[in-house]
Every structure is written in structure tokens, then in C-alpha cells.
Amino acid sequence: MAANGRKSIFITGAASGIGLACAKRFAAEGWFVGLSDIDQAGLKAALLAIGAANGSIHPLDVRDREGWENALGDFGRDTGGKADVLLNNAGVARFGVLEDMSDADCDIQIDINIKGVINGARAGLPLLKAAGGRLINVASCAGLYGSPKLAVYSATKFAVRGLSEALDVEYARHGVSVACVMPWFIETPILNAGASGTNEHMSDALRAGGLEVYPVEDAAQVVWEAAQGKALHYFVGKRAKQMRFASSHMPGVVRKQLRSRPLLST
């Protein structure tokens, strides 16, 4: 289905969670949505959810550079070679202390959360240049201060934040702007993350700590605002804004609080 002159957005991780919520939000605003994910059944359901006339599906493993070229090539044929927004949303987490992580647990987070975002930023630049568009990368509040039992995940989200800040300068000469969206914990499948060989999940820690979890619609609203705006950093949830302030102005307090909380298991 062609975009027919509408604004367009290409979304990774669009079959569920924040990606799907964003697809629904942008489609409701009249945008043409390129849905990409490794979950092909989920992509078909996502297209039904937004309406077949409002998007296209592009099976994609974000680790695959050739896959990126193919997916964006197909998307570009629907949009006249342009993309107003590329949303690097796909991400994974593994929850547990570092010494319990398998090599595979570490590698998949680095490969999807960092390499996948870099791949998207590089492959998507021609379409974004053609539209004077906006690259939006989804990081996390774990990219503001390292989160225990999410060490590798935190490292990847610090990387996404740093990449976004650098590209905001680099891509300006192409007429392309960059935004980095940093959510607090959002009600997505990523909360079911655990480490190989354990029964403990991130959701267990959140419940034990009494921490807020925000709905995906809150994240979609902030991504929508980021698509319209000019700022670099965007935060999802009141706790995200509090963490930004605390990590910037009271890092010692944050460290003390984190060290005072016992880990759920040893």
C-alpha cells in the first residue's frame, strides 16, 4: 500500500509494546507506518490493528545490515524515497547479576540494543535526508544511571544516549534532527526479561520495590511529541524526570539508595 503523500514513519519492534503503541498513534494521526519486527505473525496482527491502508510490513532482524537495506528499500518504494521519522525502538533485556549472565545473554543485548540502532541510523539516513526527517532512538532511564541486575542493558542504553547526542550534531548538516526517548519502566514484554537458567524476572524486582510501571500509551505520546519537536532528550513518566534530575545533581544520593536495596537473590 502506497503512502500517497502522507507523512511516514518506519518503526522497529513494531509487533508489540512501545512499537505497536506508536504505530497505532501515528496511524491514527494520518501517518503511513512501516512496521518492522522479527515477529512476522505479530507484524500481520499489527497491520490489522492500524488498518491495511495505513502501513506496510517489513520482517527485519535489526542485527542484519542487508536486511535493513532490503526493508528500507521496500518502504521507500511506498513513500517516494522518504521517511519523516525512523523510530529505532527494538530492544531486549536480560535481568540478573552479571556473573549469572551467559555469553548469549550479554551478546544479544549488545547486538540488538546497540548494533541494531547503529544499523538503523546508518541505513535510514538517505530516506531521512530526503524528507528533512527525524531519527528517534529509544533508550531508557537505565541510560541515566546504571541499574543493578541490568548492567549490560544499562550499558547499551548509555550507548544509545551517547549515539543520539553525537548524531544530533553530525546529522544536522543533512537537515536531519535526532531525539532520544528515555522511558521509565513501561508495561511491555521486556518486563518478563530474565537471565538464562533463572526464574527471576524484572517484573519481580519492580513489584518488590513498589516501583511505578507506566502504560505503553504514555510512551507513544512522548514519541509523538518527539516527532513534532526539536529537543534532543525526552522522558516518559514522572519518575523518569526525577531520575534525570537526581542522576545529574545528586548522583551520590542515587548510588546510596541503590546500594541500600538488597538484591532479590544472590
Mean pLDDT in residue range 14-41: 97
Angstrom distance (rounded) from CA 120 to CA 89: 10
Residue 190 has pLDDT above 80, yes or no: no
**pTM given for the model:** 0.87
Do residues 89 and 14 touch, judged by C-beta distance below 8 A?
Answer: yes
Q: Which residue do the cell numbers 511505578 mark?
A: 212
pLDDT tens sequence across 152-186: 999 999 999 999 999 999 999 999 999 999 987 66
- What cell does 73 get? 528499500
* 171 belongs to the catalytic site: no
CA–chain centroid gap for 223, Å, is 10
pLDDT tens sequence across 216-247: 899 999 999 999 999 999 998 666 566 655 55
What confidence score (pLDDT) does residue 72 get?
98
pLDDT tens sequence across 126-141: 999 999 999 999 999 8
What confidence score (pLDDT) does residue 197 get?
55
Residues paired with residue 61 on neighbouring β-strands, in sequence order: none
What confidence score (pLDDT) does residue 144 get?
83
Alpha-helix runs per DSSP H in 111-237: 116-123, 125-131, 151-170, 202-209, 216-228
Q: Tell me what percent of the residues of the chain surpass a pLDDT of 70.
A: 77
Q: Annotated catalytic residue: which of 153, 171, 214, 234?
A: 153
pLDDT tens sequence across 56-88: 999 999 999 999 999 999 999 999 999 999 999
What confidence score (pLDDT) does residue 5 get?
84
Residue 266 has pLDDT above 60, yes or no: no
φ, ψ of residue 244 to 5 degrees: the values are -60, -45
What confidence score (pLDDT) does residue 258 get?
55
Mean pLDDT in residue range 197-226: 72
Of 113, 57, 119, 56, nearest to 89 (Cα)? Answer: 113
What confidence score (pLDDT) does residue 133 get?
98
What confidence score (pLDDT) does residue 12 get?
98
What rounded mean pLDDT belongs to the chain? 87
Report which secondary-structure segment, H or E, holds 58.
strand 55-59
Do residues 88 and 135 touch, judged by C-beta distance below 8 A?
Answer: yes
Those residues whose C-beta lies under 8 Å from the C-beta of residue 251, and which sit 6 or more positions away, are 145
Within a 13 Å sphere around the CA of 116, how many CA atoms are in the beta-carbon half? 28
Q: Is 244 exposed, middle or buried (0-12, 13-18, 19+ CB in 10 A)?
A: middle
Q: How far is CA 228 from CA 69, 154, 224, in A?
A: 26, 27, 7
Least confident piece of the model among 19-23, 140-144, 205-209: 205-209
> For the CA atoms of the chain, what is the radius of gyration?
18
Write the DSSP string, 60-89.
Answer: --TT-HHHHHHHHHHHHHHHTS--SEEEE-
Angstrom distance (rounded) from CA 100 to CA 199: 12
